[in-house]
Amino acid sequence: MASLFDAYMPVVILGVVSTLLIFVTIFAPKVLQPWKPNRIKALPYECGEVPIGSNRGPMNVQYYLYIINFLILDVEAMFLLPWAMRFTELGTHGLVVIGIFVATLLFAWFYALKNGELEWVK
Which CATH number covers residue 35?
A: 1.20.58.1610
**How many structural domains does the chain have?**
1
Please give the Cα distance from 42 to 1 (Å, whole number). 56
**pLDDT score recorded for residue 73:** 84
Neighbours of 98 (CB within 10 A): 16
Tell whether 31 is covered by a domain.
yes
Please give the Cα distance from 2 to 94 (Å, whole number). 22
Question: pTM higher than 0.75, yes or no?
Answer: no
Tell whether 119 is covered by a domain.
no
**pLDDT score recorded for residue 70:** 86
Which of 15-34 are b and which e, b meaning 16 or more Cβ less than 10 Å from the residue's Cβ? eeeeeeeeeeeeeeeeeeee
Tell whether 47 is covered by a domain.
yes
**pLDDT score recorded for residue 72:** 84
Written as tens digits, the pLDDT of the chain (122 aa) is 567 778 888 899 999 999 999 999 999 988 888 878 888 777 766 676 666 766 677 767 777 878 888 888 888 888 888 888 888 888 899 899 999 999 998 998 898 889 887 777 76
50: containing domain: 16-114
Tell whether 2 is covered by a domain.
no
**pLDDT score recorded for residue 2:** 66
SS3 track for the chain? CHHHHHHHHHHHHHHHHHHHHHHHHHHHHHHHCCCCCCCCCCCCCCCCCCCCCCCCCCCCCHHHHHHHHHHHHHHHHHHHHHHHHCHHHHHHHHHHHHHHHHHHHHHHHHHHHHCCCCCCCC
Residue 117 half-sphere exposure toward CB, CA atoms < 13 A: 14
Tell whether 10 is covered by a domain.
no
**pLDDT score recorded for residue 36:** 82
